[in-house]
Amino acid sequence: MNIYLSGRGGFAVEVADALLDEGHKLAGVSAPRLRKGQSDEGNAMAWDRLRGWAFPRGIPWTDSAELRAMHVPDGVDVIVAAHSHAFLGRKTRARATIATIGYHPSLLPLHRGRDAIRWTVRDGDKVTGGSVYHLTERTDGGPLAAQEHVFVPPGSTAQSLWREHLAPLGVRLLLKVVADLAEGRRIEVPQDDKLATWEPAMDSAPLFKPELIALPGSTPVDSSKWALHSP
């Protein structure tokens, strides 16, 4: 499968390595220019980890803040969002001939939104999980392709829950769905919106929506409740 990966940080690198290990090809990646809190563009150590991973391998990179349909090359089968905070608009998603999928660290439709894990811990949930879903115009609202639960160990923090349980689960579920798609198995289970919960981001700005055109005199869009995402 020819894959385009949109993501950031260590999780995206783990997904990229795993996809290559499974024999898939990466046509390109999008990631932030710099790691969070870094400002020295000339220092490669300050680059986002996915950007730094792609450079020595000769894999084309695009700044996720600038990602548009034209940056996704021809012949891409699947677009994968792995800890991506970039907006994948309709035109961008259409560049994938088979599917555009993403991973969300909750049992969707529960805990939609950027800070799913932090809300899971804050709410004292005993069970959580991960979901791979087909990206649509609705934030974390697309049909499910795979889902699995995990128990929340006592004393978990958002960091430990992600690092020890939900990130490894995400890599495995994304690989499973890509393998299914490669074999012609396309699973799409609609989410039950009556069960959905939405929690706002605790300390993050709303998603930037470059493909949405603001009409003169129109009300600004609250992009935090629209499309895309992984944790």
How confident is the model at residue 201, as a pLDDT? 74
Alpha helices by DSSP H, listed for the chain, are 9-21, 49-54, 90-93, 116-122, 158-161, 167-182
* Arithmetic mean of pLDDT over the chain: 88
**Predicted pLDDT at 82:** 95
Predicted pLDDT of residue 206: 53
Contacts of 142 (CB under 8 A, 6+ apart): 133, 134, 135, 136, 191
Neighbouring C-alpha atoms within 13 Å toward the C-beta of 229: 30
User: What is the mean predicted confidence (pLDDT) over 64-83?
Assistant: 95
For residue 14, count other CB atoms closer than 10 A to its CB: 20
What's the pLDDT score for residue 226? 37
**Taking the model in full, what pTM does it have?**
0.86
